[in-house]
Structure 1
Amino acid sequence: MTKVTQSTKLGGTASDVQIGTVAHGLMLMVWMPGANTDEQCFESIKAGVDALPPGTKMFLNAGEFYAHDLGTANLELLSRFYAKYPNYADKTFLSVKGGIDNKMQPHGSLEFLRNSVDNVLRALGPNKKLDLYQPARIDRSIPLEELIGNLVTLQKEGKFDHIGLSELTGATLRKAHARCTRVDVIPRPFHKIHPITAAEVEISPWSYEQRTKDLLEASKELGVSVLAYSPLGHGFLTGQIKSVSELQEGDFRLRLSRTKEEYFEHNMAMVEKLSTIAKRLGVTNAQLCISWVKHLGPNVVPLPGSSKATRTLENLAAGDIQLSTEDFAEITNIVENGEIKGDRYFGLPEEAMGLWT
């Protein structure tokens, strides 16, 4: 059976929590064409947990809106998992994103966030606590200190243990962290320190810009974990997809700007260069990309997704790969000099999607 040896600590108020160096995203278990059976998904989670060192938790990442209808199917799947395997509850650390409406617009009011968290808890059921909650986008219509204050209020009510943020810049992280550690701006009676535990953003060889570097610098300085989602470029960096025509009808990746026919061949040139290095090192493309992301900082936790046990174990094994200084520099040079064409989401500017706030 596959075993991994490496683990890491989370940041902020979860600094005593030991997790695997590679996390596990659950979105595509319910958001891809074709139904994944419960048992297939359950075995994917169990295999990851069982491969970790003793006392190490598997970091799981879910969403209130991870479903075709933006409903709670993802959480309901987890509810069935924990009902069937209750002994795995304490072996996993669960992060859930929420706080957006059915038009994917964020709302940071206390009432909306409370309804969101309560909805998460209802769908998740009684067998697993909510370890970390994070708004999926930053609501720019309200002051940042109000948003953080509202999260602290819900945390103090015992609805979740730790606070995370998603799709943010280094500057926003610095402001948010300052807002929640300065006692003069925390609404009374909450005059304690409540640092941000994790910041979730997309990082991969296809998504590594100056703002990514700024966030990494801020997070390292503040002791905040970075959850690097889509480290495999939604699967394209694995080298397994040779043509957009291979994707099934209904696959959300067909809507991504970077997969348009006029961009695809150009963008896949980087994949070919990475494949050469992967073959030389005796690892898969996926493992090379995950390992490179992990090497961006001691607080960086790659967050690939999987619904198959074999893929989960392949991803986790990447956490044990130690890139040499020369190999890391070679990969970084390819990444920084590879001009990727197209926006990350649906051909829309990232600001229009509420990304990188």
Structure 2
Amino acid sequence: MSIQATTSLGGTASNITVGKVAVCMLLFILKWTPEPVPDEQCFEAIKAGVDALPPGTKMFLNGGEFYGHNLATTNLEMIARFFEKYPDYVDKTFLSVKGGVKLGAVPLPDNSPANLRRSVELINEKLRGTKRLDLFQCARVDPNVSLEESIRTLVELKKEGKLDHIGMSECSADSLRRGNAVHPIAAVEIEVSPWEYAEEAKKVIATAEELGVAVIAYSPLGRGFLTGQIKRPEDIPGNTIEGDFRRALPRFQEDNFKHNFAIVDASKNVTSAQLSIAWVASLGKHVIPLPGSSHAKRTLENCAGGDIKLSTEDIAEINSVISAADVRGDRYPHQAYLWG
């Protein structure tokens, strides 16, 4: 399979062409369960996505300092093993990593200069020189630290050669504008899907287009819900929150589940993985859907969603379903620090 759809990043990375659909590394590690996915399965999924892209196009890989069991750096260590084994893929990928949190029982944003330096240096340590930290994002906006100070700290780390580009995550349109005023932002990461298209998300997407910033739209499949494969709470693997963290998410609770499934029932023709991704991709040339999969076949299916061209009528039909849907439940058990 070959993938044709591409786009460019923004800010200081505007000369970099990436596939229209990115790949989230979280599922490579968790697979929604506490059992790690075998290396070779992860490696084949990454290679499949990269190999399907046009020559000169990079695969946008998204990782996290805390993506792993007990908020560990498992995914960074796996990424290092991948590039050690397949060094030819280093220049074919663009690696974005989120950090800037205070790790503990409840991770909290800590964008202080000292913690950002600790975070960036830990990420580079775990990568072991196998791959440049192409882009760093603070996972959340820290209300206790000046946003401008945080961005200036990242600029210093960039000048020291410890990262190449600066991104933002879970920020408001106003915060994006403020951050970009300090240093050009290459990409901003927010949640966007047919069941999560908040007014602030629309503002961020519009502001990003104005400023020339790419939007990395995570969870375009509603964490698997919008594929229609999960029809009841019992379909979620594992019996505990530790077995599958979706059991802790409000939208997956039994009281909300049946109600929310109406968006799938009402739009059977527009909620498959590829069409959900295609809808997110249609929100702008600068919008890059970020699904996750630990299987090569699924990665290719997701990436092919970026090649689907929706007609005006298709988009209107999908939008009518989204407008009529009354999704119940917050995105997270804790809503603090969202849209910072």
| TM-score, normalising length: structure 2 | 0.96
1:269 aligned onto 2:254: no
2:86 alignment counterpart: 85
2:297 alignment counterpart: 310
**Which stretch shifts more, 84-93 or 135-144?**
135-144
Please state how far the C-alpha of 1:22 moved relative to its aligned partner.
0.2
Contact 1:108 1:150 (8 Å CA) reproduced:
no
Q: Deviations over 1:61-111 (max 9, x none)?
A: 000000121111010000110000011000000000001011311111221
Q: Deviations over 1:120-171 (max 9, x none)?
A: 0111111111100011011111222111111111111110100000001111
1:190 alignment counterpart: none
Please state how far the C-alpha of 1:219 moved relative to its aligned partner.
0.5
Contact 1:94 1:130 (8 Å CA) reproduced:
yes
Q: Which runs of 4+ in 1 moved over 4 A?
A: none
**Which stretch shifts more, 57-66 or 105-114?**
105-114
- Distance of 1:121 and 1:296 partners within structure 2: 34
Partner SS state of residue 145, structure 2: coil
Partner SS state of residue 297, structure 1: coil
Q: 1:324 aligns with which of 311, 317, 332?
A: 311
Tell me the percent identity: 53
* Matched letter for residue 84 of structure 1: K
Q: Which runs of 5+ in 2 are unaligned?
A: none
- Distance of 1:65 and 1:143 partners within structure 2: 23
2:71 alignment counterpart: 70
- Distance of 1:7 and 1:309 partners within structure 2: 19
User: Would you say how many aligned residue pairs link Structure 1 and Structure 2?
Assistant: 332
1:110 aligned onto 2:146: no
- Distance of 1:273 and 1:23 partners within structure 2: 28
**What pairs up with 1:156-167 in 2 under 5 angstroms?**
156-167=159-170
- Distance of 1:133 and 1:6 partners within structure 2: 25
- Distance of 2:264 and 2:330 partners within structure 1: 18
* Matched letter for residue 175 of structure 1: R
Partner SS state of residue 319, structure 1: helix
- Distance of 1:124 and 1:152 partners within structure 2: 20
1:151 alignment counterpart: 154
Q: Deviations over 1:2-39 (max 9, x none)?
A: 11111111111000000000000010222232331100
Contact 1:208 1:336 (8 Å CA) reproduced:
no
Q: Which runs of 5+ in 1 are unaligned?
A: 181-193, 279-284
Please state how far the C-alpha of 1:113 moved relative to its aligned partner.
0.6
Q: 1:177 aligns with which of 177, 180, 189?
A: 180
2:191 alignment counterpart: 202
1:100 alignment counterpart: 101
1:298 aligned onto 2:285: yes
1:42 alignment counterpart: 43
- Distance of 1:232 and 1:277 partners within structure 2: 12
- Distance of 1:312 and 1:148 partners within structure 2: 33
Please state how far the C-alpha of 1:277 moved relative to its aligned partner.
3.8
Contact 2:270 2:276 (8 Å CA) reproduced:
no
1:137 alignment counterpart: 140
* Matched letter for residue 258 of structure 1: R
1:124 alignment counterpart: 127
Contact 1:10 1:16 (8 Å CA) reproduced:
yes
1:282 alignment counterpart: none
Partner SS state of residue 171, structure 2: coil
- Distance of 2:320 and 2:12 partners within structure 1: 35
Partner SS state of residue 70, structure 2: coil
Please state how far the C-alpha of 1:175 moved relative to its aligned partner.
1.5
* Matched letter for residue 323 of structure 1: L
Please state how far the C-alpha of 1:233 moved relative to its aligned partner.
0.3
- Distance of 1:161 and 1:56 partners within structure 2: 18
C-alpha RMSD of the superposition: 1.0
